[in-house]
C-alpha cells in the first residue's frame, strides 16, 4: 500500500512526523512524504529533528503571498505529484491551506484521503480564518476521519459526512512526549537550550507569548502589545515572545515592545528549544491552536487570545481560559495567575484531554484495517469503546 503524506508548515510537520515514522515501521506500507514548503526555515528544522527527508519538496514559499496564490499553486503542483506517484491513500493534517488543497486535489483524482485531526469546529467561518473553512473542506473530502477527541467525533457525526470517524487522540501529544523524554533524559541538552536565552532573570516567572493569527491583525495585535506593555510595568515577570516572521505580526510587535528590559522579542524558536522554554514557563499566553494542546500536557495554565476556540476540551477541563484580545482582559487574567496561588493551582496540572501518546499507532491500525481501541480521555475507557475496524477498506482503495 502506497501512502503519501502531504504537509507544508511547521505545526503540520510536528503533528505528522510521528505518523510518518509509524508508517515507516509497517512492512506492508510504502510511505512517501511531500512538503509544500511555504514556511521554509521553520519546516526544515522540524524535519531535521525527526530525521525526515521529503520525497517531494514543492518549495511554494514566496514573500507575503496571498491565500489564493498559495492555494492555486498548491493544487497545480500537488496534482502533478499525484499523477506521478498514484498513491493508494493521501494523508493530510489539520486546517492549513495545504491540507485543504491536498485533500481537494486527491478527491479530484478519486484517491482516498485520511484526515488527521479531523472534526475541530468553531462553526464560525471567520474565527479562525481561513482555518475553519479549510478543515471543513478536508473533512468533506476524506473517507477516514481521525478525530482527536470525542467532541470532534461528535461534530463530524452531526454533519453526516460520508467518511468513517475514529477517535485517536491528537498526534501532537505523541510528538510532545517523544521530545520531553529526550529533554528529561539529557541535563546537558537542557542546559545548552537554556543558555540560548541567557538574558532571562531566573528569579522571575516566565510569561511565554505566541501570537500570529490573521484574525488578530491590526487592532487585535495593537491591544495585545498594549497589554504586554502594561504587564511588563510590573517588573516581576520575564515576558518571552518568539515573534512570527509575518510582517503583519513582526512590524507592530517590534514597534510597540522593542527595548523593554523584561520583554524579550526573539526570533521564532525551533521546536526543541520552544518545548524547553514551555517547560520553564509559568504561564502561556497564545492565539495558537497547537500550544493549547501542548501546554496543558505540561501542567501550564493557558490564556488564549481568541474569542472562541475549536479546542474547547481544555476550556471545559479548566486548563485553558479564553481572554480574547481586550487589553484589560489580558492584563487581568495574567495578573490573577501571577498574584493568586490558589487561582494558579486551579489551572495547572489538570487532566489533559487531548491524547495519551498512542494516536499514531491508532491511525496506522486504521489504515491497515486492524481493530483499534479508540482514545478516551477518561482514566478507564467506557465499555462502549470496543475495538473498531474500518469498514470496506479494500473497496476504498479501488479507483475509477
Q: Which residues are catalytic?
A: 95, 117, 131, 212, 214, 244
Task: Specify the residue for cell string 514557563.
Answer: 281
3-state secondary structure of 344: helix
Q: Which three cell numbers stand for residue 68?
A: 489564493
Alpha-helical regions (H) of 25-114: 40-49, 67-85, 97-108
3-state secondary structure of 224: helix
Burial of residue 141, with CB atoms counted within 10 A of its CB: 0-12 exposed, 13-18 middle, 19 or more buried: buried
- Closest residue by Cα to residue 121 from 289, 325, 287: 289
Q: What is the DSSP letter of 210?
A: E
Task: Specify the residue for cell string 485533500.
Answer: 103
- Closest residue by Cα to residue 287 from 350, 224, 336: 224
Distance CA 342, CA 105 (A): 51
Task: Specify the residue for cell string 476524506.
Answer: 142
Q: What is the DSSP letter of 215?
A: G
Alpha-carbon radius of gyration of the chain = 21
- Closest residue by Cα to residue 309 from 138, 172, 128, 154: 128
- Closest residue by Cα to residue 372 from 391, 385, 389: 389
Q: Compute CA distances 285 → 132, 190, 282, whole Å.
A: 22, 23, 10
Q: Which residues, 6 or more positions from 6, have their beta carbon under 8 angstroms from its beta carbon?
A: 33, 34, 35, 36, 78, 90, 91, 92, 98, 99, 102
Question: 133 and 104 in contact (C-beta within 8 Å)?
Answer: no
Q: Compute CA distances 11 → 15, 171, 342, whole Å.
A: 6, 11, 33
Amino acid at each position: 500500500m502506497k501512502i503519501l503524506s502531504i504537509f507544508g508548515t511547521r505545526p503540520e510537520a510536528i503533528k505528522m512526523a510521528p505518523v510518518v515514522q509509524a508508517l515507516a515501521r509497517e512492512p506492508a506500507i510504502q510511505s512517501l512524504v511531500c512538503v509544500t514548503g511555504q514556511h521554509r526555515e521553520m519546516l526544515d528544522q522540524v524535519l531535521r529533528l525527526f530525521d525526515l527527508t521529503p520525497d517531494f519538496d514543492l518549495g511554494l514559499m514566496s514573500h507575503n503571498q496571498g491565500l489564493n496564490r498559495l492555494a492555486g499553486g498548491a493544487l497545480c503542483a500537488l496534482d502533478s505529484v499525484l499523477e506521478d506517484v498514484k498513491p493508494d491513500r493521501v494523508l493530510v493534517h489539520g486546517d492549513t491551506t495545504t491540507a485543504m488543497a491536498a485533500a481537494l486535489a486527491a478527491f479530484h483524482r478519486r484517491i482516498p484521503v485520511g484526515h488527521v485531526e479531523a472534526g475541530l469546529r468553531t462553526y464560525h467561518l471567520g474565527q479562525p480564518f481561513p482555518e475553519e473553512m479549510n478543515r471543513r473542506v478536508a473533512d468533506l473530502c476524506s473517507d477516514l476521519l481521525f478525530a482527536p477527541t470525542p467532541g470532534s467525533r461528535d461534530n463530524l457525526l452531526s454533519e453526516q459526512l460520508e467518511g468513517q470517524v475514529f477517535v485517536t487522540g491528537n498526534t501532537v501529544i505523541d510528538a510532545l512526549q517523544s521530545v520531553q523524554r529526550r529533554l528529561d533524559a539529557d541535563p546537558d541538552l537542557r542546559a545548552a537550550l537554556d543558555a540560548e536565552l541567557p538574558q532571562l532573570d531566573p528569579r522571575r516567572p516566565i510569561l511565554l507569548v505566541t501570537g500570529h493569527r490573521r484574525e488578530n491583525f491590526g487592532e487585535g495585535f495593537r491591544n495585545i502589545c498594549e497589554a504586554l506593555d502594561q504587564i511588563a510595568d510590573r517588573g516581576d515577570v520575564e515576558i518571552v515572545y518568539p515573534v512570527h516572521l509575518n510582517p503583519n505580526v513582526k512590524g507592530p510587535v517590534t514597534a510597540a515592545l522593542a527595548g523593554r528590559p523584561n520583554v524579550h522579542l526573539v526570533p521564532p524558536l525551533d521546536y526543541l528549544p520552544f518545548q524547553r522554554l514551555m517547560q520553564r514557563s509559568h504561564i502561556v499566553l497564545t492565539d495558537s491552536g497547537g500550544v493549547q494542546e501542548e501546554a496543558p500536557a505540561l501542567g501550564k495554565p493557558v490564556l488564549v487570545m481568541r474569542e472562541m476556540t475549536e479546542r474547547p476540551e481544555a476550556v471545559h477541563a479548566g486548563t485553558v481560559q479564553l481572554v480574547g484580545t481586550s487589553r484589560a482582559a489580558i492584563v487581568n487574567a495574567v495578573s490573577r495567575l501571577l498574584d493568586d496561588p490558589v487561582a494558579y493551582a486551579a489551572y495547572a496540572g489538570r487532566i489533559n484531554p487531548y491524547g495519551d501518546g498512542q494516536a499514531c499507532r491508532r491511525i496506522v491500525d486504521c489504515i491497515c484495517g486492524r481493530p483499534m481501541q479508540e482514545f478516551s480521555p477518561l482514566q478507564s475507557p467506557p465499555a462502549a469503546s470496543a475495538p473498531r475496524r474500518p469498514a470496506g477498506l479494500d473497496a476504498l482503495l479501488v479507483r475509477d
